[in-house]
Amino acid sequence: MRDSYMKLRLFCPVISMLLAVLSASLSASTVVYWTFEDGVPGELMNGTWTTNQVGSYDQSDNHFDFYAWNQANSPSFSAEGDTATGEGMAAVFSGNKDGYNGNSDFVNWSPSAWTIELSFRFDIVGVNRTLIGKDGSAGLSSNRALSAFYLQTGSASEIMLQYVSVSGERFILSTEFVPVAGKWYDLAVRSDGRYLDILINELEGDGLETIGSWDLDNVANSLGDVDHNIKVTSTWTFGRGWYGNSNVDHITGALDDIRFSDERLADEQLLSYRPLVVSQTEGKTILFKNIPEESDSFSVVLDREPSADVEVVLNIPVGLDAGNGNGQAVTRTFTAANWNVPFAVELSVADGDQLVNAMEKITYSVSSADVAFNIITATA
């Protein structure tokens, strides 16, 4: 789950403030986007594929919803906050649990330029653990048991992509990156039709890192200047792969924020791109509703130098004071001179009686002539 706001959970007499990470909003190129925010924490996803009951709804306008085959093999929604961002819910997989979408328009999705993004955590790291796959044989004469798509771990538990193109090429694109069990990562794979790269964010403050890059015209088994689009077979699968007419290579772990786009997204368009960094004291901000004289702080800073001034407006809920009075917004302008200097915000309770909601949000309005920062949009 990603949103452009900070959430405030209100537990009388304590106010606990949790951070949600800023991210890009939906674009016209979004094909499908699952955030897994529409379930009950810890509960199995609703229904079954066979009864057409949705497990989790697509956030795009295409209605490519996420399904489970049956209740016994349905992924569950995670506990609240057990995600890459520490906010919201993810989809949890173990045993033979997996997810699907077999909508014909999605099955036939095979653009020349594309991006696939997700957050993932392996609770057990192993060989050939498939994050995203496709059902059905790719029809290769050399091995008809192979499907057309595997985003998975390889023989050394490294992140890799294996896929078959519409031209009959088999690409095996291996990185040297081996994930650690129990740790969340953001992953993006993108192609412009010729060049393909894989990026990882270890979520330790260093941002996106390219862990593999290929010129598909020059990869082994390439036919050269032909279409390298993903071959169409059958259902897209999540949390497992397909081989020899069998469901295989299930993961034990969790997936979140799965998004497909029909263009090669730039770095600043990726969900994992975080140009605005918010830090909290010991990872959280705590206030007591009935002790207004106490305060706590968080800070805001950019993660890169902007090409133009960046204005950040923090919209403070009524009942809280960030130095300008009850419920008054705070504005900071970052420039080429101060972009890497954290802006500290001291937060206190102005009127505990006005903090009556179960959850409050500090929204961020960000504007700049630098388009890398204008992608951030506030959510009420």
Query: What CATH number does residue 142 fall under?
Result: 2.60.120.200
Q: Is residue 118 part of a domain?
A: yes
Q: Are 171 and 288 in a shared domain?
A: no
- Please classify residue 168 by burial: count the beta carbons closer than 10 Å to its beta carbon, then call 0-12 exposed, 13-18 middle and 19+ buried: middle
CATH of the domain at 301: 2.60.40
Q: Is 331 exposed, middle or buried (0-12, 13-18, 19+ CB in 10 A)?
A: exposed
How many domains would you assign to the chain? 2
Task: Take residue 286 and report the two structure tokens written for it.
Answer: 């705590």
- Do 260 and 324 share a domain, yes or no? no
Q: Looking at the structure, do residues 219 and 307 belong to the same domain, yes or no? A: no
Which of 248, 266, 284 is a domain's end point?
A: 266
Whether 310 maps to a domain, the answer reads: yes
Q: Tell me: do 227 and 318 sit in the same domain.
A: no
In this structure, the answer to whether residues 37 and 184 fall within a common structural domain is yes
232 and 107 together in one domain = yes
Closest CA to 73 of 99, 101, 52: 99
| One pLDDT digit (tens) per residue for the chain, 380 residues | 454 445 444 333 444 444 333 444 455 699 999 999 999 999 999 767 767 789 999 999 899 999 998 888 999 999 998 999 888 899 999 999 999 999 999 999 999 999 999 999 999 999 999 999 999 999 999 999 999 999 999 999 999 999 999 999 999 999 999 999 999 999 999 999 999 999 999 987 677 899 999 999 999 899 999 999 999 999 999 999 999 999 999 999 999 999 999 999 998 889 988 777 777 766 567 777 777 778 888 888 988 899 999 999 988 889 999 999 999 999 999 999 999 999 999 988 898 888 776 556 677 788 899 877 865 543 33
Residue 258 lies in a domain: yes
Statement to judge: residues 258 and 286 lie in one domain: no
Structural domain containing residue 341? 5-20+274-374
Point out the domain boundary residue: 212, 239, 266: 266
